Amino acid sequence: MRKLDMLEISWFLLIIVALGSMVFGVIFAVLGTPPFILEYIGMEWSEIVALSPLLAGSLELAQRLLGFSQISIGLVSLMVLKRHFREGQRWALLFILTINVPVWLPAWFLIPPAIPIAFWGTIALSILWILGLVIGARATLKTHSPS
């Protein structure tokens, strides 16, 4: 049996994060305004529409665009992870860090704990992202350090 190295473990964790980002993106793109966003706002959809149909349309469009951006971030992450990250290229690690910061850090504040599956999914994927980056940085810097 072959032994897994740290870079492969990091790669596997970050693949899960990229796929998770795409799942959240599909939820936002399909639903427009998921129930946990309405809970965060503190209003029902009918109240938003009654207040301003233009505001309701803008909110739904913004949420759908957020969903498509998360899908895009997941796809680009998968492309970089597939080739460049597995080769231990440092820029790929930095790329995965910077492209996912706008996804996972704000998600901690946007998804309320009252929606357990979304909240705990966000927490789990954020932790996997951080672990994957730390393990990947350790493996990449260790193997490419000057001797």
- Percent above pLDDT 70 for the chain: 83
**Residue 146, pLDDT above cutoff 80:** no
> What region does 88 belong to: left with phi over 0, alpha with psi -120 to 50, or beta?
left
Give the pLDDT confidence of 42-101 residue by residue, as tens digits: 778 788 888 888 988 888 888 888 889 889 999 999 999 998 988 888 899 899 988 888
- Per-residue b/e over 86-123, b at no fewer than 16 CB within 10 Å? eebeeebbebbeebbeebbeebeeebeeebeebbebbe
Most confident residue range from 33-47, 79-93, 115-129 = 79-93
- Per-residue b/e over 16-30, b at no fewer than 16 CB within 10 Å? ebbebbbebbebbbe
Predicted confidence at residue 40, as pLDDT, reads 67
